Amino acid sequence: MKNNAIVGQSGGPTSVINSSLAGVFESAINRGVDEVYGMINGIQGLLDRKYINMSDYIVEEIDIELLKRTPASFLGSCRYKLPNIDENETVFSKIFEILDELDIGYFFYIGGNDSMDTTMKLSAYGEKIGSPIRFIGVPKTIDNDLAITDHTPGYGSAAKFIASVTKEIILDGRAYDLKNATIVEVMGRNAGWLTGAAALSIGSDCEGPDLIFLPEYSINIDEFIEKSIKILERKPLVVVVSEGLKIEDGRYVSELASDISITDAFGHKMLTGTARYLAETLMRRMKCKARSIELSTIQRCASHMVSRVDITEAYQVGGAAVKAALEGETAKVIILKRESSDPYICTAGIVDVGEIANIEKKVPLNWINSTKDFVTSDFIRYASPLVQSELTPFMVSGLPQHISLNSRGYRPDAK
Amino acid sequence: MKNNAIVGQSGGPTSVINSSLAGVFESAINRGVDEVYGMINGIQGLLDRKYINMSDYIVEEIDIELLKRTPASFLGSCRYKLPNIDENETVFSKIFEILDELDIGYFFYIGGNDSMDTTMKLSAYGEKIGSPIRFIGVPKTIDNDLAITDHTPGYGSAAKFIASVTKEIILDGRAYDLKNATIVEVMGRNAGWLTGAAALSIGSDCEGPDLIFLPEYSINIDEFIEKSIKILERKPLVVVVSEGLKIEDGRYVSELASDISITDAFGHKMLTGTARYLAETLMRRMKCKARSIELSTIQRCASHMVSRVDITEAYQVGGAAVKAALEGETAKVIILKRESSDPYICTAGIVDVGEIANIEKKVPLNWINSTKDFVTSDFIRYASPLVQSELTPFMVSGLPQHISLNSRGYRPDAK
């Protein structure tokens, strides 16, 4: 049996994806795997033979702790989608050729939906050609939209940051004794998990936002204005909206602002602008001060404010993936199974990758209130345990310290 | 001698303005002042007889610590500018009437330039009518644009947040092996202190942003594009810009985007959109992915990430103001005097309010490099001591805990 492992990261960065990487690396070494390679920029980089030996860069014990506390993808990420096997077998045979060169017995892929698709296709091809390599997916995405798993690593920390800054933004909006509105835009194109997390700001010291609009329902702009007017009669308004919010005819709110019909280099419509459009509409119709705040990529990379629960689980699913692979599993994904919410107890489980890949999990509609402008207490009970406790950054010269391949001497052209 | 004090907060919120309020309150009580009143929404609220007795709301010792850790203005703020005394004496006589009703002997006003103007005018009027009330200004502003004082409380924490998220954003931008650009927009309409703080992200683990454009110099869009193209040939681009950046003809960059010629309810031109315009221009001309991130109000209210140096100094200038007033000073402002940068030693001083009010301190031009696209090491040596060390939030249910008048039962109509 070939006894090396390779691990890759794929999809959007999170604050804790490197904690899963640390979990894979440390577990693999501790369990007797010989070498642990890291794909540079995921499967796409691997196709160009871009990889490192993790042990060259993660040397001391403190490196593991720094890795856990470093946001975004230590190894670099990609958004590469593998073709279907019958469409282009060459890609697959090339990947397996490289894996064989490296004596890979275990393949770990940390990512969201697309990454699970990659894991599924690679294991299917492996089975087809009789390869002994074991393929395990490790879930991560701030969007929390993976099926079957109770939640995804990455979600809790993003939710914690969103809820924390929502509290701060609410106080900021109250500073002036004026009619003023703040519209906060949160990530999550189709699923409102992150947007709903703003409701976690509710507590004895904070009344929470006034309205929360998830992408699970469309918004009626006139109704939004009416609700806003009523609230603004008595207090500053704070609204939290998903970047993927649509109006009834199916268009994105962000499409309504003329200037942002720009598509990016890949032809994707840029969704940013939802909060801006709503704020400008409010300002025009109400003559009140209205500000939009996009949490933008900060919400996925604010590792200075991670959930201890989340970062620990991210580490654990990495370890669980290694354990599963070494015990003979393949074509599987590690999931999180909630045993109890109060007290919060969660364990790792494992399912066939086909059960998860390419399925998007939205917020249950009965966790959104009847007026479609807030989440219910069920949502809060679900999300609250995921933001608990902290893992303090290592502060050096007043700033969070990280570890990166660049700072450790990696040069892309060296390999 | 009348032995009550009153304190107000004015201008934009900061993460540590309440630490100054805590300093004033605690020092006043400890030094034998009978009652400490707080103006609701500054001098504007006082004119409507809106005030509280601080002791009704800050009751236990932990309340002081919560107050320090609460962003924005605990008492509420205002942007009210007093008229000149000879223009409208009625306003002044009304204020002094209210102060006399409350047996005020000491008046403290925490704020930036406009607030120092208020302090100056009130003390001048007091002198004119022979009032014994002593007026002391307490400096605060994230913008760091007050004259004479080495720096202003509020700046260090905003700078720390900006530098920290700049590090995180740089890592996020590196996740994909693609040509991509990120333009980060920072507050500071005329002075580049906050924008320059992004350079503090430079360290052994981070190369810092590629370009920093302060409002002290105008920008040439074509040169900006040229520089960006060169950088994008070898790495993802991260640029930090001031919201107040102008092009050579004097127009704000934010004015160049068609959609944001909107003025707010007060007729102020909204400056937001500088980063967005630059990102969209890059995207159009270079066909690369470009994202804009506005740090927006988060940079002034992110009390989950304060500088210990800053929050301590904010507390100290509050105490120093009380000490000065009780020792007979009036028409003065507390300042910070840097004795040494390495090791950092800073003490409180005091100057005539007239020396500070209405003077805007910009970044010295020799602290900006010759290509006008970064700050020099002198800037970094100046700013670095101000972001050192942390004061941990009190985390309750996974989120930073605050104290607010609302949560303590204050109702605006109760008085």
In tens, the pLDDT along B104-152 reads: 999 999 999 889 999 999 999 999 999 999 999 999 999 999 999 999 9
Residue with tokens 């910070």: B336
> Sheet holding A289-294: strands in order across?
A211-213, A237-242, A180-186, A289-294
Give the pLDDT confidence of B221-261 residue by residue, as tens digits. Answer: 999 999 999 999 999 999 999 999 999 999 999 888 755 44
Closest approach of B140 to chain A, Cα-based (Å): 15
Asked if the C-beta of A323 comes within 8 angstroms of chain B's C-beta atoms, the answer is no
Question: What distance in Å separates the CA atoms of residue A399 and residue B205, rounded to the nearest whole number?
Answer: 11
B240 touches chain A (CB under 8 A): no
Q: Is residue B335 part of a domain?
A: yes
Q: Which of B41, B171, B398 sits opposite A307 (nearest CB)?
A: B398
- Answer yes or no: do A55 and A117 share one domain: yes
Last residue of a domain, one of A301, A324, A347: A301
Asked whether the beta carbons of B130 and B98 are under 8 A apart, the reply is no
Residue A374 lies in a domain: no
Between CA B408 and CA B52 the distance in angstroms is 12
Enumerate the residues of chain B whose CB falls inside 8 A of the CB of residue A297. 169, 172, 182, 291, 293
Q: Which range (A127-136, A237-246, A395-404, B168-177) has the least confidence?
A: B168-177
Please determine, for residue A177, whether its predicted confidence score (pLDDT) is greater than 70: no
Catalytic residue among A117, A143, A145, A210: A143
C-alpha dist (Å) from residue B303 to A167, A219, B155, B306: 10, 33, 12, 5
Task: Tell me, yes or no, whether A239 lies in a domain.
Answer: yes
Among B198, B244, B241, B226, which residue's Cα sits nearest to residue B282?
A: B226
- One domain for residues A295 and A309: no
The answer to whether residue B369 is domain-embedded is no
Residue A261 has pLDDT above 80, yes or no: no
Report DSSP state, residue A343: T
Q: How far is A364 from chain B (nearest CA, A)?
A: 24
Q: Which residues of B touch A296 (CB under 8 A)?
A: 291, 293-294
Say which CATH number the domain at B202 has: 3.40.50.460
Domain end marker among B301, B325, B346: B301
Q: From start to end of A33-88, where are the E strands?
A: 36-39, 51-53
Q: Which residues of B touch A262 (CB under 8 A)?
A: 280, 283-284
The Cα–Cα gap between A380 and A198 comes to: 10
3-state secondary structure (DSSP) of residue A17: helix
Q: Which of A309, A334, A332 is nearest to A391 (CA)?
A: A309
Distance (Å) of CA B383 to CA B71, B170, B362: 21, 20, 14
CA dihedral (B311, B156, B109, B297) positive or negative: negative
The residue in chain A having the minimum alpha-carbon distance to the alpha carbon of residue B293 is A296
Residue B195 lies in a domain: yes
Percentage of chain B lying above the pLDDT 90 cut:
88
Q: Is A313 helix (H, G, I), strand (E, B) or coil?
A: helix
The amino acid that residue A81 corresponds to is K
Mutate to test the interface with A, among B172, B280, B397 (most CBs of A within 10 A): B172
Whether residue A171 is found in the same domain as residue A97:
no
- ipTM for the whole predicted complex goes beyond 0.85: yes
Q: How far is B320 from chain A (nearest CA, A)?
A: 25
* Tokens of residue B93, six digits: 């006589």
Q: How many CB atoms lie within 10 A of CB B210?
A: 21
Residue A369 lies in a domain: no
Q: Which residues of B are catalytic?
A: 143
Q: Which two tokens stand for residue A381?
A: 């009970």
Among A314-318, A337-341, B50-54, B78-82, the minimum mean pLDDT is found in B78-82
Specify whether the CB–CB gap between A241 and A278 falls below 8 A: yes
| Residue B89's pLDDT band (cuts 50, 70, 90) | very high
8 A C-beta contact, residue A48 and residue A42: no
Count the domains in chain B: 2
pLDDT at A269: 56
| Tokens linked to B72 | 């924005």
Q: By CA distance, what is B380's nearest residue in A?
A: A397
Report yes or no: B285 at the A interface, CB cutoff 8 Å: no
Query: Residue A257: what pLDDT?
Result: 72
| Residues B24 and B102 reside in one and the same domain | yes
B394 contacts in A (CB within 8 Å)?
A: none
Domain boundary among B301, B334, B368: B301
Query: What distance in Å separates residue B132's CA from the closest CA in chain A?
Result: 30
**Predicted local confidence at residue B305, as pLDDT:** 97
Write down the pLDDT at residue B413.
62
Query: Is there a single domain that holds both residue B181 and residue B278?
Result: yes
From A147, A193, A214, A218, select the one nearest A360 (Cα to Cα): A147
Q: Say if CB B345 and CB B327 are below 8 A apart.
A: no
**More confident site: B362 or A358:** B362
**How far from the centroid of its chain's Cα atoms is residue A366's Cα?**
23
B185 by DSSP, 3-state: which?
strand
Instruction: Give the DSSP H/E element, type plus range, for residue B127.
Output: helix B113-129
Q: What is the pTM of this model?
A: 0.96
| Token pair listed for B265 | 């309810």
My answer on whether B9 and B149 are in the same domain is: yes
**Minimal Cβ distance to A205: which of B76, B284, B407:** B407
In angstroms, the separation between the Cα of residue B196 and the nearest Cα of chain A is 15
Largest CA distance in chain B: 71
Task: Sort B292 into a burial class: Cβ within 10 Å, 0-12 / 13-18 / 19+.
Answer: buried
Distance between start and end Cα atoms, chain A = 27
Query: What is the DSSP code string of A194-252?
Result: HHHGGGGG-BTTB---SEEE-TTS-B-HHHHHHHHHHHHTTS-EEEEEETT-BBTTS-B
Q: Where do the H-state alpha helices sit in A84-141?
A: 89-101, 113-129
Q: Which residue of B lies nearest to A162 if distances are taken between CA atoms? A: B399
Give yes or no: A210 in active site. no
Q: Nearest-CA residue of chain A relative to B397?
A: A388
Under an 8 A CB cutoff, do A398 and B73 touch?
no
User: Is A382 in contact with A375 (CB distance < 8 Å)?
Assistant: no
From chain A, pick out residues whose CB is under 8 angstroms from the CB of B280: 259, 262
The answer to whether residues A139 and A196 belong to one domain is no
SS percent in chain A: helix, strand, coil, step 5: 40, 20, 40
% of chain A at pLDDT higher than 70: 96
Phi-psi region of A398 (alpha: psi -120 to 50; beta: other; left: phi over 0): left
The CA-CA-CA angle for residues A373, A376, A382, to 5°, reads 130
Print burial letters for B391-414: b (CB count within 10 Å at least 16), e (below 16).
Answer: bebebeebbbbbbbbbebebeeee
Cβ distance B297 to A293 less than 8 Å, yes or no, reads yes
- Of A115-119, A339-343, B29-33, B272-276, the range with the lowest mean pLDDT is B272-276
CA distance A25 to A315: 10
Whether residues B150 and B160 fall in one domain: no
Distance CA A313, CA A319 (A): 10
pLDDT exceeds 60 at position B158:
yes
- pLDDT value at residue B407: 87
Residues, chain A, total? 415
Are residues A177 and A149 part of one domain?
no
Task: Work out the pLDDT band at B271, boundaries 50, 70, 90.
Answer: low
Residue A360 DSSP one-character state: B
Same domain, B146 and B59: yes
What are the tokens at A102? 């490296």
The per-residue pLDDT of chain B, averaged, comes to 94
Q: How far is CA B195 from the centre of its chain?
A: 13
> Residue A124 is part of a domain; what is its CATH number?
3.40.50.450
With CB atoms and an 8 Å threshold, state whether A298 touches B296.
no
pLDDT at residue A386 greater than cutoff 80: yes
Q: Which residues of A touch B388 (CB under 8 A)?
A: 397-398
How many residues are present in chain B?
415
Range of the domain at A247: 158-301
Can you say whether the dihedral through the CA atoms of B100, B105, B111, B117 is positive or negative? positive
Q: Is residue B364 part of a domain?
A: no
* Partner residue facing A172 (CB), from B13, B79, B401: B13
Cβ-Cβ pairs closer than 8 A, A with B, add up to 232
Do B349 and B229 lie in one domain? The reply is: no
- How big, in percent rounded to 5, are the helix, strand and coil portions of chain B? 40, 20, 40
**Nearest of B64, B76, B68 to residue B12 by alpha carbon:** B76
At B414 the pLDDT is: 45
Of A283, A303, A397, the CB nearest to B264: A283
| CA atoms of B122 and B96, how far apart (whole Å) | 9
List, for residues B366-384, the tens digit of each pLDDT value: 999 999 999 999 999 999 9
A86 in contact with B at a CB cutoff of 8 Å? no
With an 8 Å Cβ cutoff, is B326 touching chain A?
no
- Both B213 and B270 in a single domain? yes
Asked, for residue B341, whether it belongs to a domain, the answer is yes
